[in-house]
Amino acid sequence: MLVGAGTLLVACGEGTGPNAPGLRGIGAWEPRGPRRRSSHAGPVTRYPNSRPGTDPLLRALRSLILLAAFTTVAHAQSLKVGDFAPDFTVATVTKAGVDAAPFKLAEHRGEVVVLAFFPQAGTPGCTTQMEAYRDRYAALFKGGQKVTLVGVSTDDTDDLIGWARKKNFPFRFAADGNKAVGKAYGASGLLWHKRHLYVIDPQGRIAYIARPFNQMSEDAYAALGAAIAAAAGSR
């Protein structure tokens, strides 16, 4: 159809002049200059060199949103050893079920806290990682005595509880469905969390960072154990 052909030409950026074939009478817009309007049309506000959907106010709003998002991500990614760990509150579970009270980082001063962000419960890489933590729980995490390990993912509580029961994991998992904790620590990915790890000392400062944590490397577990021991000795 003629209208369809005219529309296609506009979409491809061809034939946008007033004499272009198939464009007369279908309300085509020109990239520059005043817009034609009928005698009965109301006033038209037109910004110079603008196209539909590129109102300056909308562009400014998009820019502010992008700037805010970039600033948040940049701050989270700038976390370094020695910084105070961002505080948070999140629902946690164990193999026994949902914890009665949310986990608040600030309430765990005086102990070492290990935050192990991971993509998804039950996947091969994450199972390898968490099974290694389970099998080394006494050696690496002192059996949970003054060392609190929290695995953090975007999974819901039911999935985490089922996984913990199936694999007999002796530590907590945080259900960070809204990615608030992941964003605060720069671990939030497009769909899931990245495999990042933080060791937080008893004073609430970051003592060790692994971005990413290599779940397949024995050296990674040795470095984690040394970091936990050093952080525990800083009390």
pLDDT for position 234: 66
Domain 75-232: give its CATH architecture: 3-Layer(aba) Sandwich (3.40)
Known catalytic residue at 126:
yes
- Cα–Cα distance, 230 to 235 (Å, whole number): 10
pLDDT of the residue at 200? 98
Which residue of the set 126, 130, 152, 161 is catalytic? Answer: 126
Burial pattern 194-225, b for ≥16 Cβ within 10 A else e, equals bbbbbbbbbebebbbbbeebebeeeebbebbe
Residues of the chain with CATH 3.40.30.10: 75-232
pLDDT of amino acid 224: 98
Q: In this predicted structure, what is the pLDDT of residue 233?
A: 87
Q: What is the pLDDT of residue 165?
A: 98
Q: What is the mean pLDDT of each run of 10 residues along the chain (235 residues)?
A: 35 40 39 47 49 62 50 61 98 98 97 98 98 98 97 98 98 98 96 97 98 97 98 80
Q: What is the pLDDT of residue 62?
A: 63
Give me the pLDDT at residue 78, please: 84
What pLDDT was estimated at residue 9? 31
Give the number of other Cβ atoms within 10 Å of residue 5's Cβ.
12
Q: What is the pLDDT of residue 15?
A: 41
User: Does residue 212 have a cis peptide bond before it, meaning omega lies within 30 degrees of 0?
Assistant: yes
pLDDT for 18 equals 42
